[in-house]
Structure 1
Amino acid sequence: MNKDELDDLEDEIDDEDEKMFEMYRRQRMKEMMEQQKKSSFGSVLEISKADWVDQVNKAGENVWVIVHVYSEGIPLCKLVNQHLVQLAARFPTTKFVKGRASVCIPNYPEKNVPTLFIYRNGDLKKQWVGPHEIFGMNCKVEDLEWMFGQVGAVPTEMEENPRKQIHDVMQSNIRSTTTGGMMTKMIGE
Protein backbone atom coordinates (compact mmCIF):
# COMPACT_ATOMS: atom_id res chain seq x y z
CA MET A 1 0.00 0.00 0.00
CA ASN A 2 1.16 3.46 -0.71
CA LYS A 3 0.93 6.41 1.63
CA ASP A 4 -2.40 7.65 0.24
CA GLU A 5 -3.97 4.22 0.62
CA LEU A 6 -2.72 3.99 4.24
CA ASP A 7 -4.13 7.45 4.99
CA ASP A 8 -7.49 6.39 3.56
CA LEU A 9 -7.43 3.23 5.65
CA GLU A 10 -6.57 5.27 8.74
CA ASP A 11 -9.48 7.64 8.03
CA GLU A 12 -11.84 4.67 7.69
CA ILE A 13 -10.67 3.22 10.98
CA ASP A 14 -11.12 6.58 12.70
CA ASP A 15 -14.66 6.88 11.39
CA GLU A 16 -15.47 3.36 12.58
CA ASP A 17 -13.84 4.04 15.95
CA GLU A 18 -15.74 7.29 16.29
CA LYS A 19 -19.00 5.53 15.52
CA MET A 20 -18.19 2.85 18.10
CA PHE A 21 -17.25 5.43 20.74
CA GLU A 22 -20.39 7.44 20.02
CA MET A 23 -22.54 4.33 20.34
CA TYR A 24 -20.79 3.43 23.62
CA ARG A 25 -21.22 7.01 24.91
CA ARG A 26 -24.95 6.98 24.17
CA GLN A 27 -25.37 3.59 25.86
CA ARG A 28 -23.46 4.79 28.92
CA MET A 29 -25.46 8.04 29.11
CA LYS A 30 -28.68 6.05 28.98
CA GLU A 31 -27.48 3.78 31.82
CA MET A 32 -26.41 6.77 33.91
CA MET A 33 -29.76 8.51 33.41
CA GLU A 34 -31.65 5.36 34.40
CA GLN A 35 -29.50 5.04 37.53
CA GLN A 36 -30.02 8.71 38.36
CA LYS A 37 -33.78 8.30 37.96
CA LYS A 38 -33.69 5.31 40.32
CA SER A 39 -31.45 7.16 42.78
CA SER A 40 -33.67 10.19 42.97
CA PHE A 41 -34.50 9.97 46.68
CA GLY A 42 -31.71 10.19 49.29
CA SER A 43 -33.64 12.06 51.99
CA VAL A 44 -36.67 11.61 54.23
CA LEU A 45 -39.80 13.34 52.95
CA GLU A 46 -42.47 14.59 55.38
CA ILE A 47 -45.98 13.63 54.21
CA SER A 48 -49.57 14.17 55.28
CA LYS A 49 -52.72 12.11 54.85
CA ALA A 50 -53.39 13.88 51.53
CA ASP A 51 -49.90 12.92 50.24
CA TRP A 52 -50.09 9.26 51.28
CA VAL A 53 -51.59 7.83 48.08
CA ASP A 54 -49.25 9.69 45.72
CA GLN A 55 -46.08 9.34 47.80
CA VAL A 56 -46.58 5.78 49.07
CA ASN A 57 -49.13 3.82 47.05
CA LYS A 58 -48.24 5.41 43.70
CA ALA A 59 -44.51 5.86 44.31
CA GLY A 60 -43.60 4.08 41.09
CA GLU A 61 -43.09 0.65 39.70
CA ASN A 62 -40.74 -1.47 41.82
CA VAL A 63 -39.97 1.42 44.18
CA TRP A 64 -39.54 0.43 47.81
CA VAL A 65 -41.10 2.92 50.23
CA ILE A 66 -40.30 2.96 53.94
CA VAL A 67 -42.86 4.92 55.97
CA HIS A 68 -42.26 6.04 59.55
CA VAL A 69 -45.41 6.99 61.44
CA TYR A 70 -44.32 8.97 64.48
CA SER A 71 -45.48 11.35 67.21
CA GLU A 72 -43.81 14.56 68.31
CA GLY A 73 -42.17 14.49 71.73
CA ILE A 74 -41.46 10.76 71.81
CA PRO A 75 -37.70 10.18 72.09
CA LEU A 76 -37.77 6.83 70.26
CA CYS A 77 -39.55 8.45 67.29
CA LYS A 78 -36.87 11.14 67.18
CA LEU A 79 -34.16 8.45 67.28
CA VAL A 80 -35.77 6.46 64.45
CA ASN A 81 -36.09 9.66 62.37
CA GLN A 82 -32.35 10.29 62.83
CA HIS A 83 -31.53 6.73 61.76
CA LEU A 84 -33.78 7.02 58.70
CA VAL A 85 -31.98 10.19 57.56
CA GLN A 86 -28.70 8.23 57.58
CA LEU A 87 -30.22 5.26 55.76
CA ALA A 88 -31.94 7.45 53.15
CA ALA A 89 -28.58 9.00 52.27
CA ARG A 90 -26.95 5.55 51.98
CA PHE A 91 -29.78 3.97 49.98
CA PRO A 92 -31.05 6.62 47.50
CA THR A 93 -32.96 4.07 45.41
CA THR A 94 -35.36 3.50 48.34
CA LYS A 95 -37.92 6.15 49.14
CA PHE A 96 -38.07 7.16 52.80
CA VAL A 97 -41.06 9.12 54.11
CA LYS A 98 -42.32 10.06 57.54
CA GLY A 99 -45.60 11.38 58.80
CA ARG A 100 -46.97 12.42 62.15
CA ALA A 101 -49.55 9.88 63.28
CA SER A 102 -52.08 12.61 64.14
CA VAL A 103 -51.81 14.01 60.60
CA CYS A 104 -51.51 10.80 58.53
CA ILE A 105 -53.74 8.40 60.47
CA PRO A 106 -56.31 10.18 62.66
CA ASN A 107 -56.90 8.50 66.04
CA TYR A 108 -53.81 6.30 65.63
CA PRO A 109 -52.97 5.04 69.15
CA GLU A 110 -49.85 6.65 70.54
CA LYS A 111 -48.81 3.28 72.03
CA ASN A 112 -48.27 2.09 68.42
CA VAL A 113 -45.60 4.67 67.57
CA PRO A 114 -43.10 4.45 66.20
CA THR A 115 -44.54 2.36 63.39
CA LEU A 116 -42.62 1.39 60.26
CA PHE A 117 -44.40 0.28 57.09
CA ILE A 118 -42.69 -1.05 53.98
CA TYR A 119 -44.49 -0.79 50.64
CA ARG A 120 -43.64 -1.87 47.13
CA ASN A 121 -45.86 -1.33 44.09
CA GLY A 122 -48.56 0.01 46.40
CA ASP A 123 -48.68 -3.17 48.50
CA LEU A 124 -47.81 -3.37 52.18
CA LYS A 125 -44.93 -5.85 52.47
CA LYS A 126 -43.99 -5.59 56.15
CA GLN A 127 -44.78 -3.58 59.26
CA TRP A 128 -43.30 -3.09 62.70
CA VAL A 129 -45.68 -1.57 65.22
CA GLY A 130 -44.64 -0.06 68.52
CA PRO A 131 -41.44 0.41 70.45
CA HIS A 132 -40.95 -3.26 71.30
CA GLU A 133 -40.69 -4.36 67.66
CA ILE A 134 -38.12 -1.63 66.98
CA PHE A 135 -35.96 -2.53 70.03
CA GLY A 136 -36.93 0.54 72.06
CA MET A 137 -34.26 3.13 72.81
CA ASN A 138 -31.60 0.48 72.12
CA CYS A 139 -32.46 0.67 68.40
CA LYS A 140 -29.40 1.24 66.25
CA VAL A 141 -29.16 2.26 62.60
CA GLU A 142 -27.70 -1.19 61.87
CA ASP A 143 -30.82 -2.83 63.33
CA LEU A 144 -33.06 -0.91 60.95
CA GLU A 145 -30.76 -1.59 57.99
CA TRP A 146 -30.89 -5.31 58.79
CA MET A 147 -34.69 -5.28 59.15
CA PHE A 148 -35.17 -3.41 55.86
CA GLY A 149 -32.61 -5.60 54.11
CA GLN A 150 -34.39 -8.79 55.15
CA VAL A 151 -37.52 -7.58 53.37
CA GLY A 152 -35.52 -6.44 50.34
CA ALA A 153 -36.26 -2.73 50.75
CA VAL A 154 -32.56 -1.80 50.90
CA PRO A 155 -29.65 -3.54 49.16
CA THR A 156 -27.68 -4.14 52.34
CA GLU A 157 -24.44 -6.06 52.41
CA MET A 158 -25.01 -7.13 56.02
CA GLU A 159 -24.78 -10.90 56.19
CA GLU A 160 -25.47 -11.32 59.88
CA ASN A 161 -28.12 -9.92 62.18
CA PRO A 162 -26.38 -7.27 64.31
CA ARG A 163 -28.71 -8.09 67.16
CA LYS A 164 -28.00 -11.72 68.01
CA GLN A 165 -31.00 -13.58 69.33
CA ILE A 166 -30.61 -14.41 73.01
CA HIS A 167 -31.94 -17.78 74.03
CA ASP A 168 -34.00 -17.19 77.16
CA VAL A 169 -33.69 -20.41 79.16
CA MET A 170 -36.32 -19.44 81.70
CA GLN A 171 -38.95 -18.64 79.03
CA SER A 172 -38.22 -21.83 77.06
CA ASN A 173 -38.50 -23.92 80.25
CA ILE A 174 -41.82 -22.32 81.08
CA ARG A 175 -43.06 -23.00 77.54
CA SER A 176 -41.84 -26.63 77.68
CA THR A 177 -43.43 -27.22 81.06
CA THR A 178 -46.71 -25.65 79.97
CA THR A 179 -46.79 -27.53 76.69
CA GLY A 180 -45.71 -30.80 78.29
CA GLY A 181 -48.28 -30.41 81.05
CA MET A 182 -51.03 -29.79 78.54
CA MET A 183 -49.97 -32.80 76.51
CA THR A 184 -49.99 -35.02 79.61
CA LYS A 185 -53.40 -33.71 80.57
CA MET A 186 -54.74 -34.28 77.04
CA ILE A 187 -53.30 -37.80 76.82
CA GLY A 188 -54.53 -38.71 80.31
CA GLU A 189 -58.12 -37.71 79.59
Structure 2
Amino acid sequence: MDMPVNVPIDDPNADTEWNDILRKHGVIPEKPPSPTPIIQEAILEAQKRDYENRLEDKDLDELAALEEDEDEEFLEKYRQQRLAELSHLQKTSLHNQVYPLQKPDYSRDVTDASTQCFVLVNLTSSAGNNVESRVLSEIWRTLAAKYGDIKFCEMRADMCIEGYPDKNTPTILAYRDGDIRRQIVTLKELNGPRTSVRDLENVLISLGAIKENDSRLRQNPMPAKNFDSDEDFDDWD
Protein backbone atom coordinates (compact mmCIF):
# COMPACT_ATOMS: atom_id res chain seq x y z
CA MET A 1 0.00 0.00 0.00
CA ASP A 2 1.42 3.36 -1.05
CA MET A 3 1.89 5.78 1.77
CA PRO A 4 1.46 9.50 1.19
CA VAL A 5 4.73 11.39 1.09
CA ASN A 6 5.00 14.68 2.94
CA VAL A 7 6.84 17.06 0.63
CA PRO A 8 8.74 19.76 2.51
CA ILE A 9 7.54 23.22 1.52
CA ASP A 10 8.95 26.32 3.19
CA ASP A 11 6.83 28.89 1.37
CA PRO A 12 4.41 27.70 -1.36
CA ASN A 13 4.24 31.21 -2.79
CA ALA A 14 7.97 31.68 -3.12
CA ASP A 15 9.54 31.82 -6.59
CA THR A 16 11.99 28.93 -6.21
CA GLU A 17 13.08 26.15 -8.54
CA TRP A 18 11.77 23.59 -6.05
CA ASN A 19 8.31 25.22 -5.96
CA ASP A 20 8.28 25.38 -9.78
CA ILE A 21 8.80 21.59 -9.86
CA LEU A 22 6.03 21.05 -7.30
CA ARG A 23 3.64 23.27 -9.26
CA LYS A 24 4.48 21.43 -12.49
CA HIS A 25 3.47 18.13 -10.90
CA GLY A 26 0.39 19.53 -9.21
CA VAL A 27 1.71 19.10 -5.68
CA ILE A 28 1.05 22.75 -4.85
CA PRO A 29 -1.33 25.11 -6.69
CA GLU A 30 -0.19 27.67 -9.17
CA LYS A 31 0.91 30.92 -7.63
CA PRO A 32 -1.86 33.54 -7.93
CA PRO A 33 -1.04 36.41 -10.28
CA SER A 34 0.47 39.50 -8.69
CA PRO A 35 -2.05 42.32 -8.25
CA THR A 36 0.67 44.90 -8.95
CA PRO A 37 0.22 45.06 -12.76
CA ILE A 38 -3.56 45.38 -12.33
CA ILE A 39 -3.15 48.19 -9.81
CA GLN A 40 -0.61 49.97 -12.01
CA GLU A 41 -2.94 49.67 -15.01
CA ALA A 42 -5.84 51.12 -12.99
CA ILE A 43 -3.66 54.04 -11.85
CA LEU A 44 -2.52 54.77 -15.40
CA GLU A 45 -6.12 54.61 -16.66
CA ALA A 46 -7.25 57.03 -13.93
CA GLN A 47 -4.41 59.42 -14.76
CA LYS A 48 -5.28 59.26 -18.46
CA ARG A 49 -8.95 59.93 -17.72
CA ASP A 50 -8.08 62.87 -15.45
CA TYR A 51 -5.84 64.34 -18.15
CA GLU A 52 -8.46 63.95 -20.87
CA ASN A 53 -11.10 65.57 -18.63
CA ARG A 54 -8.86 68.34 -17.28
CA LEU A 55 -10.95 71.01 -19.02
CA GLU A 56 -14.30 69.52 -18.03
CA ASP A 57 -15.22 72.17 -15.46
CA LYS A 58 -13.68 75.24 -17.14
CA ASP A 59 -15.86 78.14 -18.20
CA LEU A 60 -15.31 80.18 -21.38
CA ASP A 61 -13.05 82.73 -19.70
CA GLU A 62 -10.88 80.01 -18.18
CA LEU A 63 -10.63 78.24 -21.52
CA ALA A 64 -9.50 81.46 -23.18
CA ALA A 65 -6.76 81.87 -20.56
CA LEU A 66 -5.37 78.44 -21.48
CA GLU A 67 -4.84 79.17 -25.19
CA GLU A 68 -1.05 79.28 -24.88
CA ASP A 69 -0.86 76.08 -22.81
CA GLU A 70 -3.27 73.77 -24.63
CA ASP A 71 -3.58 72.41 -28.12
CA GLU A 72 -5.89 74.74 -30.06
CA GLU A 73 -7.95 71.93 -31.61
CA PHE A 74 -8.38 70.26 -28.22
CA LEU A 75 -9.28 73.60 -26.64
CA GLU A 76 -11.79 74.41 -29.37
CA LYS A 77 -13.58 71.14 -28.68
CA TYR A 78 -14.28 72.19 -25.11
CA ARG A 79 -15.11 75.75 -26.12
CA GLN A 80 -17.81 74.45 -28.45
CA GLN A 81 -18.99 72.07 -25.73
CA ARG A 82 -19.40 74.98 -23.32
CA LEU A 83 -21.23 77.09 -25.91
CA ALA A 84 -23.60 74.19 -26.62
CA GLU A 85 -24.23 73.78 -22.89
CA LEU A 86 -24.97 77.49 -22.46
CA SER A 87 -27.30 77.43 -25.46
CA HIS A 88 -29.15 74.41 -24.07
CA LEU A 89 -29.54 76.03 -20.64
CA GLN A 90 -30.83 79.21 -22.22
CA LYS A 91 -33.48 77.29 -24.15
CA THR A 92 -34.55 75.11 -21.23
CA SER A 93 -34.49 77.73 -18.46
CA LEU A 94 -38.21 78.36 -18.60
CA HIS A 95 -39.07 78.68 -14.92
CA ASN A 96 -36.60 80.47 -12.59
CA GLN A 97 -39.23 80.98 -9.90
CA VAL A 98 -41.11 79.09 -7.21
CA TYR A 99 -44.66 78.26 -8.29
CA PRO A 100 -47.38 78.29 -5.61
CA LEU A 101 -49.69 75.32 -6.06
CA GLN A 102 -53.44 74.92 -5.71
CA LYS A 103 -54.88 71.45 -5.16
CA PRO A 104 -57.20 71.48 -8.23
CA ASP A 105 -54.20 72.27 -10.46
CA TYR A 106 -51.78 69.79 -8.89
CA SER A 107 -52.13 67.13 -11.56
CA ARG A 108 -51.60 69.62 -14.39
CA ASP A 109 -48.86 71.70 -12.77
CA VAL A 110 -46.90 68.83 -11.27
CA THR A 111 -47.66 65.34 -12.57
CA ASP A 112 -48.28 66.36 -16.18
CA ALA A 113 -45.53 68.98 -16.17
CA SER A 114 -43.01 66.36 -15.05
CA THR A 115 -43.18 64.76 -18.50
CA GLN A 116 -41.26 67.81 -19.73
CA CYS A 117 -38.81 68.38 -16.86
CA PHE A 118 -38.10 67.51 -13.26
CA VAL A 119 -40.69 69.00 -10.92
CA LEU A 120 -39.86 69.36 -7.23
CA VAL A 121 -42.58 70.14 -4.71
CA ASN A 122 -41.92 71.57 -1.25
CA LEU A 123 -44.79 70.74 1.11
CA THR A 124 -44.41 73.40 3.76
CA SER A 125 -45.54 73.69 7.34
CA SER A 126 -49.00 75.09 8.01
CA ALA A 127 -47.66 76.75 11.16
CA GLY A 128 -45.13 79.54 11.06
CA ASN A 129 -42.71 78.16 13.63
CA ASN A 130 -41.14 75.23 11.77
CA VAL A 131 -37.51 76.24 11.25
CA GLU A 132 -36.70 73.48 8.75
CA SER A 133 -39.66 74.51 6.62
CA ARG A 134 -38.50 78.12 6.60
CA VAL A 135 -34.94 77.06 5.75
CA LEU A 136 -36.12 75.00 2.79
CA SER A 137 -38.34 77.77 1.46
CA GLU A 138 -35.29 80.07 1.35
CA ILE A 139 -33.21 77.43 -0.41
CA TRP A 140 -36.10 76.71 -2.79
CA ARG A 141 -36.02 80.31 -4.06
CA THR A 142 -32.26 80.15 -4.57
CA LEU A 143 -32.44 76.87 -6.49
CA ALA A 144 -35.36 78.05 -8.62
CA ALA A 145 -33.45 81.14 -9.73
CA LYS A 146 -30.32 79.09 -10.43
CA TYR A 147 -31.83 76.06 -12.20
CA GLY A 148 -34.53 77.35 -14.52
CA ASP A 149 -34.80 74.00 -16.33
CA ILE A 150 -36.24 72.48 -13.15
CA LYS A 151 -39.70 73.45 -11.96
CA PHE A 152 -39.81 74.26 -8.24
CA CYS A 153 -43.24 74.35 -6.61
CA GLU A 154 -44.47 74.98 -3.10
CA MET A 155 -47.68 74.23 -1.26
CA ARG A 156 -48.89 74.00 2.30
CA ALA A 157 -48.89 70.34 3.26
CA ASP A 158 -52.33 70.37 4.89
CA MET A 159 -53.82 71.94 1.75
CA CYS A 160 -52.30 69.19 -0.39
CA ILE A 161 -53.00 66.21 1.88
CA GLU A 162 -55.75 66.60 4.46
CA GLY A 163 -54.50 65.87 7.96
CA TYR A 164 -50.83 65.70 6.91
CA PRO A 165 -48.77 65.93 10.14
CA ASP A 166 -46.95 69.21 10.50
CA LYS A 167 -44.07 67.32 12.14
CA ASN A 168 -43.40 65.70 8.74
CA THR A 169 -42.77 69.04 7.08
CA PRO A 170 -41.05 70.12 5.06
CA THR A 171 -41.56 67.23 2.67
CA ILE A 172 -39.88 67.18 -0.74
CA LEU A 173 -41.53 65.31 -3.60
CA ALA A 174 -39.46 64.91 -6.77
CA TYR A 175 -41.41 64.06 -9.94
CA ARG A 176 -40.28 62.96 -13.39
CA ASP A 177 -42.32 61.44 -16.21
CA GLY A 178 -45.46 61.43 -14.08
CA ASP A 179 -43.96 59.47 -11.18
CA ILE A 180 -42.51 60.35 -7.80
CA ARG A 181 -38.79 59.59 -8.05
CA ARG A 182 -37.89 60.50 -4.48
CA GLN A 183 -39.55 61.62 -1.27
CA ILE A 184 -37.70 63.34 1.56
CA VAL A 185 -39.63 63.79 4.81
CA THR A 186 -38.15 66.67 6.85
CA LEU A 187 -34.53 67.70 6.41
CA LYS A 188 -33.26 65.13 8.91
CA GLU A 189 -31.58 62.97 6.27
CA LEU A 190 -29.82 66.05 4.84
CA ASN A 191 -28.44 68.42 7.45
CA GLY A 192 -31.46 69.40 9.51
CA PRO A 193 -31.99 73.14 10.01
CA ARG A 194 -28.43 73.70 8.75
CA THR A 195 -29.20 72.21 5.34
CA SER A 196 -27.51 74.21 2.58
CA VAL A 197 -28.02 74.88 -1.10
CA ARG A 198 -25.20 72.43 -1.79
CA ASP A 199 -27.02 69.69 0.13
CA LEU A 200 -30.02 70.10 -2.16
CA GLU A 201 -27.79 70.28 -5.23
CA ASN A 202 -26.43 66.87 -4.26
CA VAL A 203 -30.02 65.62 -4.22
CA LEU A 204 -30.54 67.05 -7.71
CA ILE A 205 -27.39 65.25 -8.89
CA SER A 206 -28.52 61.95 -7.38
CA LEU A 207 -31.86 62.33 -9.16
CA GLY A 208 -30.18 63.05 -12.48
CA ALA A 209 -31.84 66.47 -12.63
CA ILE A 210 -28.40 68.07 -13.05
CA LYS A 211 -25.03 66.56 -13.96
CA GLU A 212 -22.00 66.40 -11.70
CA ASN A 213 -20.08 68.65 -14.10
CA ASP A 214 -22.87 71.22 -14.49
CA SER A 215 -21.14 74.60 -14.65
CA ARG A 216 -23.86 76.16 -12.49
CA LEU A 217 -22.63 74.15 -9.51
CA ARG A 218 -19.57 76.39 -9.44
CA GLN A 219 -21.65 79.53 -9.11
CA ASN A 220 -21.88 80.74 -5.54
CA PRO A 221 -25.37 82.02 -4.76
CA MET A 222 -26.15 84.51 -2.04
CA PRO A 223 -26.32 82.58 1.25
CA ALA A 224 -29.79 81.68 2.41
CA LYS A 225 -31.12 83.36 5.53
CA ASN A 226 -29.50 82.07 8.69
CA PHE A 227 -31.98 80.49 11.12
CA ASP A 228 -29.40 79.50 13.71
CA SER A 229 -30.44 82.03 16.34
CA ASP A 230 -31.63 80.80 19.73
CA GLU A 231 -35.03 82.36 19.11
CA ASP A 232 -35.49 80.32 15.94
CA PHE A 233 -34.44 77.05 17.54
CA ASP A 234 -36.71 77.63 20.52
CA ASP A 235 -39.65 77.38 18.12
CA TRP A 236 -38.44 74.26 16.34
CA ASP A 237 -39.55 70.81 17.42
Separation in 1, partners of 2:174, 2:160: 15
Separation in 2, partners of 1:68, 1:153: 16
* C-alpha deviation, 1:37, in angstroms: 5.5
Aligned partner of 1:51 in structure 2 is: 105
Does the 8 Å contact 1:118/1:153 carry over to 2? no
Partner secondary structure for residue 113 of structure 2: coil
Aligned partner of 2:159 in structure 1 is: 103
* C-alpha deviation, 1:83, in angstroms: 0.4
Q: How does 1:22-61 map to 2 (within 5 A)?
A: 38-61=92-115
Aligned partner of 2:194 in structure 1 is: 138
Deviations 1:49-101 (A, max 9, x none): 11210111010534100110011411211110110111111110000001001
Aligned partner of 1:86 in structure 2 is: 142
State how many pairs are aligned: 128
Pairing 1:153–2:209 present: yes
Aligned residue identity for 1:143: D
Does the 8 Å contact 1:67/1:117 carry over to 2? yes
Identify, as 1 or 2, the structure richer in helix: 1
- After superposition, the Cα gap between the structure-2 partners of 1:68 and 1:156, relative to the gap in structure 1 and judged at 3 Å, is farther
Pairing 1:69–2:123 present: yes
Does the 8 Å contact 1:145/1:156 carry over to 2? no
Does the 8 Å contact 1:112/1:131 carry over to 2? no
- After superposition, the Cα gap between the structure-2 partners of 1:111 and 1:47, relative to the gap in structure 1 and judged at 3 Å, is same
* Identity, % of aligned positions: 32
- After superposition, the Cα gap between the structure-2 partners of 1:122 and 1:138, relative to the gap in structure 1 and judged at 3 Å, is same
Q: How does 1:106-125 map to 2 (within 5 A)?
A: 106-125=162-181
* C-alpha deviation, 1:145, in angstroms: 0.8
Separation in 1, partners of 2:154, 2:210: 17
Aligned residue identity for 1:134: L
Aligned residue identity for 2:106: W
* C-alpha deviation, 1:131, in angstroms: 3.3
Aligned residue identity for 1:93: D
Aligned partner of 1:167 in structure 2 is: none
Does the 8 Å contact 1:117/1:128 carry over to 2? yes
* C-alpha deviation, 1:156, in angstroms: 4.9
Does the 8 Å contact 1:63/1:120 carry over to 2? yes
* C-alpha deviation, 1:35, in angstroms: 6.0
Separation in 1, partners of 2:143, 2:213: 13
Aligned residue identity for 1:131: L
Separation in 2, partners of 1:140, 1:60: 25
Aligned residue identity for 1:79: V
Q: Give 1 or 2 for the bigger CA radius of gyration.
A: 2
Q: CA RMSD in A?
A: 2.3
Gaps of 5+ in 1: 1-31, 160-189
TM-score (norm 2): 0.49
Separation in 1, partners of 2:212, 2:94: 18
Gaps of 5+ in 2: 1-86, 218-237
